[in-house]
Structure 1
Amino acid sequence: MSKYGVLAEEKVFKDPVHRYIHVRDELIWELIGTKEFQRLRRIRQLGTTYVTFHGAEHTRFNHSLGVYEITRRMVEEFTGRPDWNDEERLLVLTAALLHDIGHGPFSHSFEKVFDTDHEEWTRSIILGDTEINDVLSQVRPQFPKDVADVIEKTYSNKLVTSMISSQIDADRMDYLQRDAYYTGVSYGHFDMERILRVMRPKEDQVVIKNSGMHAVEDYIMSRYQMYWQVYFHPVTRSAEVILSKILMRAKDLYEQGYSFMQEPKHFYSIFKGKASLDDYLRLDEAIVLYYFQVWQEEEDRILRDLCVRFLNRRLFKYIEFNPNDRMDDWLVLHDLFKQADLQPDYYLVLDSSSDLPYDFYRPGEEEERVPIHLLMPNGRLRELSRQSDVVEAISGKKRTDHKLYVPLDRLEDEEEYGEVKRKIRKILDI
């Protein structure tokens, strides 16, 4: 029997997006107070986006509370309706709160360099020797695994999973609005109140009443715009490129036996690919930025230069460059950068971003994408793009953007390798 009940008095968090976040369950309140959840205050939601949009300083802590709040409101809407089992209430609220618990500092850049997966760390935190696991285990012995399974999308009740992980879920509905608010853009706004009112629980997924189709169209277009105007912004990507190269250089130097002036003790186990759960949880953005600060004084000129660039926003220049059309230029540039004493592994970086704003499963494809279904007046379900001309126009269309990032300041300085640098600039047309 769970030791947790209802709080004697409701707790509220003031929130700029949802006005208030309401906590009525002792379990949720206990989870928020764990050290693993509090660590999310030190992990930004949007990584390096603050370099482009100076207001984007919000954290995974903010976002996780927001996803919990939207899920709580979804549950309120579902209670008493057919296909909803209220025994799943606490499970879905917990999974919503903890869905991002495994994110590391500068999440996606960090994962690429060190080949880690925040979803695997999420599972380890929920099932491992942690304060979160201690709290969850007091609900019932199976509860931590059920929470992990919902987040991993392997839980038996697909309806519960779809509430926090689908093409229209609490996670996306929070981050679109929250990221729009903190970046100051207008793209991410949509009528969430309307969407929540027309959501209905079905056996395997959340569906939308047909009368709410236009609100869903607006939501999908908001997501499309946010990806191209905010998430894939070329200046943000330049900062991500430099961040990744700093981490890569530090790892390379460690493997070469380089003697750091400031030993990166917090990174040793992650450099070796043998980070324990405790090692991972000790890493946050304050730690990473501390090392970047002191590495500005390192003897290694590449590490030193990259850290100075990142901390002082001296970013790389970006150029439109599709490698599929310009492979010969790419090979020539690689050689010219070497001649100019600019190591191409660090100073010539191709970055590609792509997005698929909405799609549905097509027979024969490997990856199943559960579509958004509309609940028609006759009680049948109809896939969204078959009813909406707007969604049909973008459905299944993957857009990709290629950028080449280079240190323009180093290419303009012709005191050394002037002729080589002129050749580089001519190829890049800069």
Structure 2
Amino acid sequence: MANRNGKLSEEKVFKDPVHRYIHVRDKLIWDLIGTPEFQRLRRVRQLGTTYLTFHGAEHSRLNHSLGVYEIVRRMVDDVFKGRPEWNEEERLVSLCAALLHDLGHGPFSHSFEKVFHMDHEDFTRRIILEDTEVNRVLKTEGKDFPKKVAEVIAKTYSNKQVVSLISSQIDADRMDYLQRDAYYTGVSYGHFDMERILRVMRPREDQVVIKYSGMHAVEDYIMSRYQMYWQVYFHPVTRSAEVILTKILHRAKQLHEENYTFKQEPVHFYSLFNGEVILKDYLKMDESVILFYFQAWEEEEDPILSDLCSRFLHRNLFKYVEFNPSNEQMMKLLELKALFKKAGIDPEYYLVLDSSSDLPYDFYRPGEEEERLPIHLLMPNGEIRELSRQSEIVDAISGKRRTDHKLYFPLDLIEDLSVKRTAKKKIIELLNLHK
């Protein structure tokens, strides 16, 4: 039951390992949590294939979405409330955008998107705007309310201050996933003083700023993010699993295009393979569906699809070597591909160059590919200063993109090659496997 003001007659509380409690006071939020589209996020892991590296990383997109909601709730109900720079009428749209921001993620999100050329944010907006239970619940707040929520997620909403709460270089999304992912992976890198950051946040026109006294907490947050990317998100074993996952989906798509007769027909994939994704079909895709197919495809006649599925399911992953994509090394890669073919190993599926790249912090550089809203400090004299102009630590990493390249391959298949094959010896030599 709800009061006339849209509040629940009794507050609902979720126990949470990161924020201790997640508080729900609005009927609208409670109803959104109960929709099938939101509950589907229980079946999509937050960290994709990372569970094959860090066994505790089994948490879901639903965990994270509730966490982002709770951080924004604390901002608007505890930190901003009563301040003249904050419009209380933006409260509900901010909370809904925070809760629903990841609604469109598919199974094993980023690998899935890469293969099928999709963007989860497009599907998030479609779920909010099209014929769904989420859309019907949002419309109880007003006919145009779903459009407002979708605009916040698309970063086109007129009030940029609201957008910055869930999409900036220090937003509720990042603050939740860094702590949550650190908790579930068991690492120490992602921890920072969020309580301090929330205390020193101040709403300003078009953005949220940080009081100068909280600068060191923000420095710690940025370094935590940097460490999490290189120690967890870009872990080479996780990337190996992603490479195999991606190649499974590519192989299944290719076989479909070649009219291969599957023992287990990929009925859930038809609209994806054909590039005509119906929202209803998309919402049926989750990780339990994907893993069902991988188990079935392990028995397929096609040796590549069968082998790749077996590798993924039983964690027989590819090995890797460091790779510098210079002209000389790229010539080596071409030679390796030829040798793989000669040895009967398809390089399209078994020799993969994978790159990871991250920009830990940047300020807006006009004309560059992506506008990055900088973090601004509120100085004691009332002046607003961009963070890297005040912090030597942040200045040292600003605008510095770090990129890492690795070459992935199945060591077991190479070792199984006949000793007499000259290809084996040359492959081992080119991959520097003698070391």
Separation of aligned partners in 1, 2:58 and 2:163: 29
* 3-state SS, counterpart of residue 409 of structure 1: helix
Match of 2:295 in 1: 293
Match of 2:417 in 1: 414
Residue deviations 1:4-58 (CA, integer Å, cap 9, x gap): 7000100000000000000000000000000000000000000000000000000
Gaps of 5+ in 1: none
User: Which range is displaced more, 329-338 or 401-410?
Assistant: 329-338
Match of 1:131 in 2: 133
Match of 2:117 in 1: 115
The structural deviation recorded for 1:158 is 0.2
Match of 1:53 in 2: 54
Separation of aligned partners in 1, 2:96 and 2:236: 36
Within-5 A mapping of 1:153-172: 153-172=155-174
The structural deviation recorded for 1:96 is 0.1
Residue deviations 1:236-287 (CA, integer Å, cap 9, x gap): 0000000000000000000000000011111111110111000000000000
Q: 1:362 aligns with which of 359, 362, 365?
A: 365
Separation of aligned partners in 2, 1:418 and 1:201: 68
Q: Which amino acid aligns with 1:261?
A: K
Separation of aligned partners in 2, 1:243 and 1:143: 38
* 3-state SS, counterpart of residue 334 of structure 1: helix
Q: TM-score, normalised by structure 1?
A: 0.98
Match of 1:398 in 2: 401
Match of 2:23 in 1: 22
The verdict on how the C-alpha distance between 1:377 and 1:289 changes in structure 2, with shifts beyond 3 A counting, is: same
Match of 1:248 in 2: 250
Within-5 A mapping of 1:31-70: 31-70=32-71
* 3-state SS, counterpart of residue 237 of structure 1: helix
Match of 1:233 in 2: 235
Match of 1:97 in 2: 99
The structural deviation recorded for 1:323 is 1.6
Within-5 A mapping of 1:257-268: 257-268=259-270
Separation of aligned partners in 1, 2:10 and 2:175: 28
Asked if the contact 1:340–1:417 (Cα under 8 Å) also holds between the matched residues in 2, the reply is: no
Q: Which amino acid aligns with 1:378?
A: N
Structure 1 residue 371 and structure 2 residue 364: aligned?
A: no
Report % sequence identity: 74
Q: Which amino acid aligns with 2:348?
A: D
The structural deviation recorded for 1:365 is 2.5
User: Which range is displaced more, 138-147 or 418-427?
Assistant: 418-427
* 3-state SS, counterpart of residue 402 of structure 1: strand
Q: 1:213 aligns with which of 211, 215, 232?
A: 215
Structure 1 residue 385 and structure 2 residue 388: aligned?
A: yes
The structural deviation recorded for 1:3 is 7.9
The structural deviation recorded for 1:350 is 0.3
Asked if the contact 1:60–1:100 (Cα under 8 Å) also holds between the matched residues in 2, the reply is: yes
The verdict on how the C-alpha distance between 1:303 and 1:213 changes in structure 2, with shifts beyond 3 A counting, is: same
Separation of aligned partners in 1, 2:113 and 2:289: 16
Q: 2:333 aligns with which of 330, 348, 361?
A: 330
Asked if the contact 1:269–1:276 (Cα under 8 Å) also holds between the matched residues in 2, the reply is: yes
Residue deviations 1:132-156 (CA, integer Å, cap 9, x gap): 0000011101100000000010000
Separation of aligned partners in 1, 2:106 and 2:133: 18
Asked if the contact 2:98–2:166 (Cα under 8 Å) also holds between the matched residues in 1, the reply is: yes
Separation of aligned partners in 1, 2:366 and 2:133: 44
Q: Which amino acid aligns with 2:343?
A: A
Q: TM-score, normalised by structure 2?
A: 0.97
Asked if the contact 2:418–2:424 (Cα under 8 Å) also holds between the matched residues in 1, the reply is: no
Asked if the contact 1:245–1:346 (Cα under 8 Å) also holds between the matched residues in 2, the reply is: yes
Q: Which amino acid aligns with 1:278?
A: K
Match of 1:346 in 2: 349
Separation of aligned partners in 2, 1:39 and 1:362: 38
Separation of aligned partners in 1, 2:408 and 2:388: 37
Separation of aligned partners in 2, 1:371 and 1:275: 36
The structural deviation recorded for 1:369 is 1.1
Q: Which amino acid aligns with 2:233?
A: Y
Separation of aligned partners in 2, 1:33 and 1:199: 31
Separation of aligned partners in 2, 1:165 and 1:142: 22
* 3-state SS, counterpart of residue 369 of structure 1: coil
Separation of aligned partners in 1, 2:317 and 2:173: 31
Separation of aligned partners in 2, 1:179 and 1:62: 11
The root-mean-square deviation of aligned C-alpha atoms, in Å, is: 1.1
Within-5 A mapping of 1:172-187: 172-187=174-189
The structural deviation recorded for 1:367 is 2.4
The structural deviation recorded for 1:324 is 2.3
Aligned residue-pair number: 429
User: Which range is displaced more, 133-142 or 361-370?
Assistant: 361-370
Q: Which amino acid aligns with 2:382?
A: G
Separation of aligned partners in 2, 1:17 and 1:230: 18
Separation of aligned partners in 1, 2:312 and 2:4: 48
